[in-house]
A and B are shown apart, each in its own frame.
Chain A
Amino acid sequence: MKDIVVTGMGAICAAGKNIPAILQSFIQEERNPQIPALFKTGLAYPLFEVKDFYAQNNEMRTIALLRHALGEALSSAGAYDRLKERRVGVVIGTTIACQMNDIDFYRNYKEGNDPDYTQVDRFLDSNPAYAVKTMLALNGPAMTVANACSSGTDALGVALSWLKNDLCDMVICGGADELNHVPYCGFGSLSVTSGEPCRPFDRDRKGLNLGEGAGIVILEKRSSNDSQIVLADYASYADAYHLTAPKPGGENLKRAIYKVLKNSGVKPEDIAFVNAHGTSTRDNDKVEGQVLRDIFGETLKFHSTKSYTGHTLGAAGGLEAVFACLGLREGWIAKNLGFENIDPEIGIAPVRSKSSVNGRYALSTSLAFGGNNSVLLFKIG
């Protein structure tokens, strides 16, 4: 079976509106979470907004972010010319775009104030995968994954299945989500948001900061002998333990990591680095950090890029897949901003500075509401 390779990537998030800008933010260790500007709120949890970015013509902001990253991904793949002649599928993860989370509309509806019903049309037209399928007139399958914070990672897993089973020649995959007042209140109610910039894996971390963005990967079957990034495998297991908290011990995150390693004949010491989920919540980082320590030991290079992007929910897996590929391609990974002290319950530290990475393999991990533990294995070669 031919390798499934990454032929294009695109990204937009608070760290930058394209991949070169994001890499520059990583190099300069820049981040700037702020009190929300996109909506009015009395809460004071900082957010990672994409600045000076506006949706046009009543388009949902999530779709606008997706369209932006998609353009970069298709351009970098040189794929526009191939779209019509090939079986092109789309699978996109999201959390916001599949819900009618419009407080202003709902207030007017409840109060009988003649709400703007074009907002309902906007909702019905904003299924992300179908939006892409429609805008590019594609002829393959379209699927929107609503798997909470692992949606983007699981979307790449679906894409891998489609390509391995010859349903498609090319798949546009990833995740997209906008910042929205409703989950902002919701995550606040769960007491998992921090009033300070997030500090993934740090002993004194106080919670996550929400973010927004889109990360898109173009996957195709290998057609050249050039060195490329390969999506080697995907695995996912459920905790079936708690709706919002990971299972202590991380048994099924371990199972997912071991599965992709075994399927690809890769040893733990072959992993150059891990782009971890690293939300900066007490529970996530403890379970994930312990699992990484148990499998890879103290010498593992790992980081959470959420300290640059915030937690972008359905977009996170897509963005972090892009960042894992960039790490392999560029030969370095970004400093885990905000980390100062090892949490004794975790026992290992993420990278404290921009770090070179050597090796052919990288992992991207995602944990989610609902107890999902999803893992992607990339290799270069």
Chain B
Amino acid sequence: MYINGIGLVDAKAELNISGMRRAGRFAKLAVAAATAAVKDSSLSLSGTETGIILATAFGPHATTFEFLDNILTYSEKEVSPTLFSHSVHNAAAFYVAAALNATGPTLSVTDFYHPFYQALSLARFWLKTGMCKEVLVGKSEESGKVMSDIVMVSSRPEVTIQEGALFILLGTQDNAKPYRHQFIDSPFEEKDMAKVANSLRL
């Protein structure tokens, strides 16, 4: 299994992505990173055999709180369907699939510990068993005042939310990229996604 491309988007990125006017930053970060990973690979995706696994700890929480604002501000009958549909965790994976016309299996996974490692591990199986020819595996997190505030005063203030997104295009073919690492199966710290990406580029 080979790392064919890497895309990394940090918190400073300006994200004016065509067709995503209604989407929140969580989804835009994911699409920008996934698109960058495919571009980096110089490969064409195979459509129905392209899988997507998006990992996240907190998901589109800023949109969720915006929707709660909607409920508190307006009547229950006047809340925004657009906000609601964008508050679900897998909206971002949909946008990645739509942007890249990737119609294989699409999965969003979430936990507060090692979601990216879990996603990578599963992607390996998808490739190994021939379920996919390539898998875009990524992690996206958005920052937001409410979630940062409330987590800080919880009993687990060590939980930090860093904004950014990383996608790796894994495939079974070596496309001769300079990093050319074969992905084996090693967990790593997720706290700094830039470090992960840079380490892969050695």
Residues of A within 8 A of B (CB): 41-43, 95, 98-101, 103, 106-107, 109-110, 115, 117, 120-121, 124, 127, 129-130, 141-148, 154, 157-158, 161-162, 164-165, 167, 181-183, 185-191, 235-241, 243-244, 252, 255, 368-372, 374
Contact = CB atoms under 8 A, between A and B. Distances in A.
Interface in B34-58: 48, 52, 56
A238 B108 CA distance: 12
A99 B59 contact: yes
A370 B146 contact: no
A130 B111 contact: yes
Contacts of A235: 105
A369 B109 contact: no
Contacts of B133: none
A124 B159 contact: yes
A189 B80 contact: yes
B143 interface: no
A184 B1 CA distance: 43
What 9 pairs across the A-B complex have the smallest Cβ distances?
A: A186-B84, A146-B89, A370-B94, A120-B154, A240-B97, A236-B105, A189-B81, A238-B106, A370-B90
5 contacts: A42-B76, A101-B64, A161-B129, A165-B129, A370-B108
Contacts of B108: 145-147, 370
Nearest to B154: A120
Contacts of A255: 48
B151 A120 contact: yes
Given A43-B77, A239-B103, A99 B61 contact: yes
Interface in B126-160: 126, 128-129, 131, 146-147, 149-151, 153-156, 159
A100 B65 CA distance: 8
Q: Is the interface of A mostly helix, strand, loop or mixed?
A: mixed
A141 B121 contact: yes
Contact of A130 (B79, B94, B103, B113): B113
Interface string B102-128: 111111111111000010011001101
A43 B76 contact: yes
Interface stretch (B5-13, B67-75, B163-171): B67-75
A374 B102 CA distance: 15
A35 to B, nearest CB: 13
Contacts of A42: 75-77
B4 interface: no
A186 B97 contact: no
Interface of B: 48, 52, 56, 59, 61, 64-65, 67-69, 71-72, 75-77, 79-81, 84-91, 93-95, 97-98, 101-113, 118, 121-122, 125-126, 128-129, 131, 146-147, 149-151, 153-156, 159
B94 A238 contact: yes
Nearest to B61: A100
Contacts of A368: 90
B94 A188 contact: no
Nearest to B89: A146
Q: Which residue, of B77, B79, B105, has the highest number of chain A Cβ atoms within 10 A?
A: B105
B59 A117 contact: no
A185 B89 contact: no
B67 A142 contact: no
Contacts of A183: 84
Nearest to B23: A243
B60 to A, nearest CB: 9
A369 B91 contact: yes
Contacts of B122: 143, 158, 161
Contacts of A127: 110-112
B88 A369 contact: yes
Contact of B112 (A124, A185, A238): A124
Given A124-B151, A186-B81, A369-B90, 6 more contacts: A99-B59, A101-B68, A127-B110, A182-B68, A243-B91, A243-B94
Contacts of B146: 106, 109
Contacts of B81: 186, 189-191, 244
Contacts of B112: 124, 127, 130
Contact of B71 (A103, A129, A190, A236): A103
Contacts of A106: 65, 68, 72, 146
A20 to B, nearest CB: 33
B56 to A, nearest CB: 8
A198 B122 CA distance: 37
B75 to A, nearest CB: 7
B109 A103 contact: no
Given A43-B77, A117-B153, A185-B71, A98 B89 contact: yes
Contacts of A164: 125, 129
A86 B94 CA distance: 36
Contacts of A188: 76-77, 79
